[in-house]
Amino acid sequence: MSINKKQIINGAIVFALILLAGGSLMAVKAANVETASNDSFIGRKFANLTAEQQAELQTQRAEQEKLREAQQALIQSALDSGDYQAWLKAVGTANPLAQKITADNFAKFVEAHKLRQQADQIMSELGLEGQGFGQMGLDQGNGWGRHGGMMGPQK
């Protein structure tokens, strides 16, 4: 079975849509990455705090995590229901994605999000959860890396 050029292009388009759909959730997850990169710094500072200060810091971090989870739930709910205004409120107008996703193209964004969820489910069924297409050899020799579908070839 050979793959023709049209199939490759269609695959690239679907992949780009999948990446775009994840944009909303990635914006929220970016906050988690920042927190993770600060963990070693916090860990060093944490040792110098009193027990009361440590407890307060733990409480604040737990509250922040609850807020992040609530925001993610609002975003997911808005995407599931196809409610642009709810999605915009959940991600915030300052989010760069909110500048690209409009009421006019939101239905397409929701469709892409659903496709990404389907792709994630299939990847999970194959035992490939957490792996991007780049780790599976699809970017070998053509320069289309992890974000190639949305940002162009990675060099």
Express each pLDDT in 49-88 by its tens digit.
888 888 889 999 999 999 999 999 999 999 999 999 999 9
Q: Residues with Cβ < 8 Å from 77, sequence gap 6 or more?
A: 83, 86, 90
Region 1-18: mean pLDDT is 57
Lowest-confidence region among 26-30, 100-104, 149-153: 149-153
Tell which wins on pLDDT, 123 or 130: 123
Q: Delimit the domains of the chain by residue range.
A: 5-130
Tell which wins on pLDDT, 138 or 44: 44
Q: Which letter, b or e, does each residue of 70-91 get, where b requires 16 or more Cβ atoms within 10 Å of its Cβ?
A: ebbebbbebbeeeebeebbebb
Residue 87: predicted pLDDT? 94
Lowest-confidence region among 21-25, 67-71, 112-116: 21-25
Residue 3 phi/psi, 5-degree rounding, is: -100, 125
Q: Average pLDDT of the chain?
A: 74
Q: Take residue 148 and report the two structure tokens written for it.
A: 């190639």
pLDDT at 148 over 90: no
Residue 48: predicted pLDDT? 81
Confidence of residue 1 (pLDDT cuts 50, 70, 90): very low
Q: Which letter, b or e, does each residue of 40-54 get, where b requires 16 or more Cβ atoms within 10 Å of its Cβ?
A: eeeeeeeeeeeeeee
Cα separations (Å) of 46 from 5, 33, 55, 93? 56, 19, 10, 34
% of the chain at pLDDT higher than 90? 42
